[in-house]
Structure 1
Amino acid sequence: MMNQKIPLIGIHHVAIICSNYELSKQFYTEILGFEVIREVYRKERDSYKLDLSFQGVYFIELFSFPETPARISRPEACGLRHIAFEVSNLDDTVHILQQKGLICEDIRIDEFTGKRFTFTSDPDLLPIEFYER
């Protein structure tokens, strides 16, 4: 029984707590193109919960809370590091992100796969990676 593997079938969602709900909602829907599944205001917690999907697949839970402590993300703090999205053309992606006012790091090459990638950040400076297929 100790060697039995958990029967995972996939990743269900990523939960993100934001400091400015409207700004983050705009970022994930208008800039990254996620679709709203449902938006709920939870009065007892003074909190919004926004469920987002990508290509019909439930992907992100975006939360707001009245007072959220800052979390160190860089340099390489312990914990969840970043979200990575796969793209077919990194140059086009960087161009679109820059047109939308985002700053992208220089494109790098993954030393193990030879694939190109770059990072930008969401409104709370959560690192977001774009990895070329």
Structure 2
Amino acid sequence: MAGVNILPSSSSTLLLPHNNIIKLNHVGICPIVVNTPARKNIVQNVIGNRKTRSQFVLTKAKTSLEADLAKDSVTSEAIDDENDFGVVNLHHVGILCENLERSLDFYQNLLGLKINEARPHDKLPYRGAWLWVGSEMIHLMELPNPDPYTGRPEHGGRDRHTCIAIRDVSKLKAILDKAGIPYTLSRSGRPAIFTRDPDTNALEFTQVE
């Protein structure tokens, strides 16, 4: 079979001299034409076909992988939905106070927080007040404070505390200085200040943009 080049192809029948017939599977034949455009085109077509098949296989594998990942994602979302009970934001922080008027003087008159008149007070078995902190609230509740002050940090940095975001720590610092209320600036150097209310509840005020 001199002068014949066998190349991959589909199933075909080859006619040879003397009427001999050979059945070929998955091979193709073409005459060898040395250094001619025809031969180059044949070779390029074969190589192109190989690349096309390879790209098809890779694309199919990629599509299958993406489908599996999408299925896993849907399953994960379904699991998350089952455990998602609808957290929206922080609604309010409860703060105990021994004397409501004294605490209101601190939170309302000194810090400038406004009372939420829409919140009911007479339906509770104790005196209290709701104060706006942005879109959330502080709920003052007149009860004996169960937290002993002895042994706790002076100004509440390492303690149970309520953190309020403010625009200017330096202005609050001037207000506390004028009122004679002790405080501690953040030891990390960030713009934040720690203090306590009249019932020693710890408060942090952190500066935000």
TM-score under structure 2 length normalisation: 0.50
Deviations 1:27-74 (A, max 9, x none): 1111111111236346x83x212111134x340111113xx2531362
Equivalent-residue separation in structure 1 for 2:192 and 2:113 (angstroms)? 21
Secondary structure of 1:61's counterpart equals strand
Equivalent-residue separation in structure 1 for 2:165 and 2:184 (angstroms)? 16
2:121 to 32, 40, 54: 40
Q: Which structure has the higher relative contact order (CA within 8 Å, separation 6+)? A: 1
Residue 127 (1) aligns with residue 206 (2): no
The equivalent of 1:30 in structure 2 is: 109
Equivalent-residue separation in structure 2 for 1:31 and 1:99 (angstroms)? 10
Structure 2 unmatched runs, 5+: 1-77, 154-158
Secondary structure of 1:99's counterpart equals helix
CA contact (8 A) 1:109 1:117 kept: no
Tell me which protein shows more helix as a share of its residues: 2
Aligned residues: 120
**Structure 1 outlier segments of 4+, above 3 Å:** none
The equivalent of 2:43 in structure 1 is: none
Residue 64 (1) aligns with residue 142 (2): yes
Q: Which amino acid aligns with 1:101?
A: G
Equivalent-residue separation in structure 2 for 1:90 and 1:69 (angstroms)? 28
Structure 1 unmatched runs, 5+: none
Equivalent-residue separation in structure 2 for 1:59 and 1:97 (angstroms)? 22
- Greater C-alpha Rg: 2
Identity %: 25
TM-score under structure 1 length normalisation: 0.74
CA RMSD of superposed structures (Å): 2.5
1:11 to 81, 90, 96: 90
Q: Which amino acid aligns with 1:70?
A: P
